[in-house]
Structure 1
Amino acid sequence: MAEGKMLEEKLFSKHLNEEMEVIIYLPKQYSPLYKYPLFIIQDGKDYIRFGKLPKLVDELTGSAQIQKSIFAFLPYKTVEDRRKKYHPDGEQNEAYIRFLAHELVPFLENLIPSFQMAGSRFLMGDSLGASVSLKACLKYPYTFGNAVLHSPFVNDDLMELVKQANPGMLKIFHIIGDQETEVETTNHTIDNFLAPNEALHNLIQEKGFESEFHLFEGGHRWTYWQPFLKPSLKYMLPAHTFDLESMES
C-alpha cells in the first residue's frame, strides 16, 4: 500500500463526450502550500498494478532521490477503448489528446498546486500509451515538456512529428527491448517494434533532444518495463530541480 494518498476523481470530457476516471496520487506529507510537478500516466491501472508505481514513488521520495510530485493515473475502459484513444490512427486519438491538454490539465491544476509550466508536466505510457504520450507532447509543446516512453508503437506519422519538433521543447526517456521484433498487437497483427524504435532513437539523437535511451534484453512485457520505472523517475525528477520547500502556491 502506498504511503501517499490515493484519490479517485471523475470528469466529463466534452471532447470525448464521456466521463473519464482519474486516480490521483498525492505524496506523503502533501501540502497545498507547495507546488508540485505533475505526471499524467496512460494505462493507469497497469502502472499501479504491474508497475507498482505508487510504492516506488514512496520509496524514491522517502529517500530524497526524486522530487515529491503529483501522479494522475488514467485507466482505459476496454482494450478496444484503449486502441481508439491511444493508437495514432484511432478514431478518438485526436480528441483524446485535446482532452489531455484542454480538459485534464486544467482540471488537475484546479485541484492541486503545480508549477503550471510545460517543463514540470510529464506524460508516461507503455506501447500505445507511450505513442499517445509522445504525440501529445509533440502536438502541445507549450503544455507538455517531458515524455517517458516504454516500448512505444511508432509509425511514419509519429516520426514526421518528431522531425518537425523543436528539440529544445521536449525531454525524453525511451526504452525498447531487443526481442520486440514480433509483437502481437491489440489489432491481432504481429509487428516489429524494435526497428521503428531504433529509427526513433536515431532521429531523437540526430535532432538533439535531451534524452536517455535504453535497449534492454527482453520483450514487450511488464516484466521488462518495471525495472526501468526507477531510472525514468530519477532522470525526469531529480531532487534538485525544484526547491519545493521554498515555492509557495
Structure 2
Amino acid sequence: MDQKLRKRTIVRRELTSSYLGETRSYKVYLPPNYDRNKAYPVLYAQDGEQFLNFGRGATIAQEMILNGKLFPFIIAAVTVSRENRTEEYGTGRSRNAIYKSFFTEELLPAVEEEFSASDRVLVGDSLGGTVSLDLALDRPDLFNKVLSLSGAFYPDVMKGVLRKPDLSYLLIYMLIGLEETAVPVSDGKTVDFLSYNREMKNLLEQRGASVTYVEEKGGHDWGFWQSQLSSAFSFFFEVK
C-alpha cells in the first residue's frame, strides 16, 4: 500500500488563456490503474496547489480508492495567484467574469479533451467555494454538483441565489466550522462565516437544491478542511 501511495500519478499542464491574458497551469491527478479509454468523474478544484498540498486531496483520494472505499475519479487542480485570487473568485469582482469564462470555455474543454469525464464536481474553500457555487448557478448545463469548504457566502452571493427560483438541479455538500464566527479577512475586519453558511443553506433549500450540510468543530483553515475531506469524498464517490 505505501509503495502504491507513493506512485500517485499527477501531471502538470499549461493553458494559454485569451480571457485571462496569461498562461495558467493546472495539475491533474489520475487514479490508480487509470485507463485512458474509460471516462471518470472529474473533481475540479479551485486553489489547486493548496488543495493538493495543504488539503492532501490526491493523497486522500489515492488511499481511499486503493482501499476500495471510493470509485476512481480524477482531480483537476487549477492554480491561482495570491494577487488575483480575490478578484477572480469574488462575486462581481474585476476579474470574476473573465475567470469564469476561462474556466468554462478554455479549462474544461482542455481537461476533458485529454481526460474523458463521466461527471463533474466543483470544489473550493472560502472564496473558492464562492466561485464554485457561482459557476453552478451560471452554467447548470455544465455543473450540478458542488463541494463547499467553508464557502465565503457574502450577501452578493446570496443575491445570486435569490435570482434563481429553481435550483432543484443542484446537489451541494456544505462544510463549515463551528469556530468560524469571527474570521479575519483582507480588509482587517472579521466575518461570521458560520452564520453566512447557515443562511445560504436555508436559501438553497428554499429553492429546491439538495443540500447536505455539515457543521463540525474547526476553523477557517486547511487543517480543518483536510480532516473532513474523506467524508466529503465519500459523499460524492463512495462505493455503494
TM-score with structure 2 length normalisation? 0.92
Counterparts of 1:12 and 1:222, CA distance in 2: 29
Contact 1:138 1:165 (C-alpha < 8 Å) held by counterparts: no
Match of 2:151 in 1: 152
Residues 186-229 of structure 1: CA deviation (Å, up to 9, x unaligned): 33332221211110011223333222111111221112111211
Q: In the aligned structure 2, how far is the partner of 1:2 from the partner of 1:136?
A: 34
Relative to structure 1, is the Cα distance of residues 2 and 42 closer, same or farther in structure 2, using a 3 angstrom cutoff?
farther
Paired residue for 1:243?
A: none
Task: Output the aligned Cα RMSD.
Answer: 1.5
The equivalent residue for 2:134 is 135
Ranges in structure 2 where 5+ consecutive residues have no aligned partner = none
Q: Find the counterpart in structure 1 of residue 125 from structure 2.
A: 126
TM superposition shift of 1:98: 1.1
Is 1:218 aligned to 2:218, yes or no? yes
Provide the secondary structure at the position in 1 that maps to 2:117: coil
2-structure distance, mates of 1:2, 1:189: 42
Q: Give, in whole Å, the separation in 2 of the partners of 1:23 and 1:2.
A: 17
8 Å contact kept, 2:180–2:192: yes
In the alignment, the residues of structure 2 paired with residue 76 and residue 124 of structure 1 have an alpha-carbon distance, to the nearest angstrom, of 14
Residue type matched to 1:139 in 2?
D
Partner letter of residue 137 of structure 1?
Answer: A
Alignment-derived partner of residue 39 in structure 1: 43
Q: Please say if 1:166 is aligned against 2:170.
A: no
Letter in 2 for 1:205: E
Output the CA distance in 1 between the equivalents of 2:130 and 2:115. Answer: 27
**Could you tell me how far apart the structure 1 residues matched to 2:46 and 2:212 are?**
20
Native 8 Å contact 2:201 2:211 kept in 1 = no
**Change in CA separation of 1:151 and 1:2 when aligned onto 2, cut-off 3 Å:** farther
Task: Return the offset for 1:112.
Answer: 0.9
SS in 1 for 2:201: helix
Q: Are residue 28 (structure 1) and residue 32 (structure 2) matched?
A: yes
Unaligned stretches of 5+ in structure 1? Answer: 241-249
Q: Which residue identity lines up with residue 147 of structure 2 in the other structure?
A: V
Give the aligned residue type for 1:50.
F
CA contact (8 A) 1:172 1:212 kept: yes
Q: How many residues align?
A: 235
Query: Matched residues in 2 for 1:166 and 1:110: separation?
Result: 31
Deviates more, 1:28-37 or 1:161-170: 161-170
